[in-house]
Amino acid sequence: MPVEHLNITMPIRLKEAVDREARRERTKRSTLIQHAVRLYLRVSQQQMLRELLREGYVEMAAETRAVTRAFAALDRDALKYAD
């Protein structure tokens, strides 16, 4: 996979924490940051998908209630013939 070098800035304490974690994981700082960014992007995409699904469920619930109201009279009539 092609790579590109980036220069980034971060607070010293954050860099130190990244370095500690990289040592603990026995990996390079850049590898740890790559994993962190991938995880962040995955979580961000999941949150966006959850929000879209929530909006869809809200919209579908309104439609479901409308259909239920439309068929309520038919359901009442059908129950007359149930044992």
Secondary structure, 3-state, 7-42: CCCCCHHHHHHHHHHHHHHCCCHHHHHHHHHHHHHH
Q: Is the separation of the CB atoms in 11 and 18 below 8 Å?
A: no
Q: Is 8 exposed, middle or buried (0-12, 13-18, 19+ CB in 10 A)?
A: exposed
Residue 5 lies in a domain: no
Give the pLDDT of residue 35. 97
Structural domains of the chain, count: 1
- Residue 54's domain spans which residues? 12-79
In the block, tokens 């962190």 appear at: 36
Give the pLDDT of residue 73. 79
Strand, coil or helix: what is 5? Answer: coil
Give the pLDDT of residue 83. 63
Residue 30 lies in a domain: yes
- When the pLDDT of each residue in the chain is averaged and rounded to a whole number, the result is 92
Over residues 35-71, the pLDDT tens digits come to: 999 999 999 999 999 999 999 998 899 889 888 888 8
Lowest mean pLDDT among 10-19, 29-38, 45-54, 68-77: 68-77
Residue 3 lies in a domain: no
Residue 6 lies in a domain: no
